[in-house]
A and B are shown apart, each in its own frame.
Chain A
Amino acid sequence: MASQSKISYTSFFLATAIVILLVTGMTIGAELYKPLKDWLAITFGHHWVGKSVIAFLAFFIIALGANSYFAKREQDIGKWATITIVLMILSSLAILGFFTLHYYKLI
């Protein structure tokens, strides 16, 4: 069923999926590669602020940028929601698992 809406929720799901991957990558990457954490801290004043700004920009650039592409196409909320849920669970477990292993000096 094609959507006639001018706003595509698919582009927001895509943006969320990419932000989940980006935040997980930056979080683990910054712990394993100190120059990345230092760059985030120096550039944005704090590494968490840096991750926040990058995630925020990525989300709205992708959501609004991809909107016209997806608005003309069939939108499957079930498929995109499933992808988002799976990524959300896996990335949360990856972040928690990483810091647990890091604490016990296994990584």
Chain B
Amino acid sequence: MVDPLIFPHVVLGDATAVTAIWIIVELLDPTQKRVNRAALVSLLGVTLAWLVYLIGGYYYVVSYPPVRDVIKVGAWDWAHKIFMEAKEHIFLLGPYLMTTIAVSLNVNKERLLTDDRGRKMVIALSLIMVIGAATMLLMGVMISTGYRVALGG
């Protein structure tokens, strides 16, 4: 049976990535209204990123150990030993990056209209969030598959 925490963890993680995409779109051709909207969306992104962190962390510490033990004796033991080990630690960085994006946008609304390099770098940071979320999702798929392989499915 799939742990009930997996679904909100994945969905909220995807929603965080959507907020980062939304920020990118708003900043591509900025007006004050668009920058203000990006700043507002970033607050939603921060809330989601920390929720994903808490749910994912709780799952990893409390519910995952029996799953880990199954994966480690299966044919895809590397799904845990490489990908879960990497995922659980790279995952630690996401909320901090999203928090910094939100702070940059919210204290910098007027300046981002004229600071072209700064605006492009906030776009690049948001893109890193999107790539990071997609990578976490891909690693999660490999870990789940490793579990099913170990169970013989």
Contacts and interface: CB of A to CB of B under 8 A. Distances in A.
A92 B89 CA distance: 9
A85 B92 CA distance: 15
Interface of B: 57, 60-61, 78, 81-82, 85-86, 88-90, 92-93, 96-97, 99-100, 103-104, 107-108, 111, 115, 117-118, 120-122, 124-125, 128, 132, 135
B89 A20 contact: no
Contact of B128 (A5, A13, A85, A103): A85
A102 B125 CA distance: 30
Given A12-B100, A16-B96, 18 more contacts: A1-B115, A3-B108, A7-B103, A9-B103, A9-B107, A12-B99, A20-B96, A23-B92, A48-B61, A49-B57, A49-B61, A52-B92, A78-B115, A81-B121, A85-B121, A92-B90, A96-B82, A99-B82
Q: Is the interface of A mostly helix, strand, loop or mixed?
A: helix
Contacts of B103: 7, 9, 12
B121 A9 contact: no
Contacts of B122: 77, 81
9 contacts: A1-B115, A9-B107, A13-B104, A16-B97, A19-B96, A49-B61, A59-B99, A99-B86, A102-B81
Contacts of B78: 103
A55 B121 CA distance: 24
B89 A51 contact: yes
A59 B93 CA distance: 11
Interface of A: 1, 3, 5, 7-9, 12-13, 15-16, 19-20, 23-24, 27, 46, 48-49, 51-52, 55, 59, 76-78, 81-82, 84-85, 88-89, 91-92, 95-96, 99-100, 102-103
Contact of B96 (A55, A77, A78): A55
Contact of A99 (B81, B97, B128): B81
B82 A88 contact: no
A103 B97 CA distance: 29
Most buried by B among A8, A9, A48: A9
A15 B57 contact: no
B92 A51 contact: yes
A46 B61 contact: yes
A8 B96 CA distance: 15
Contacts of B125: 81, 84-85
Given A51-B89, A85-B128, A15 B115 contact: no
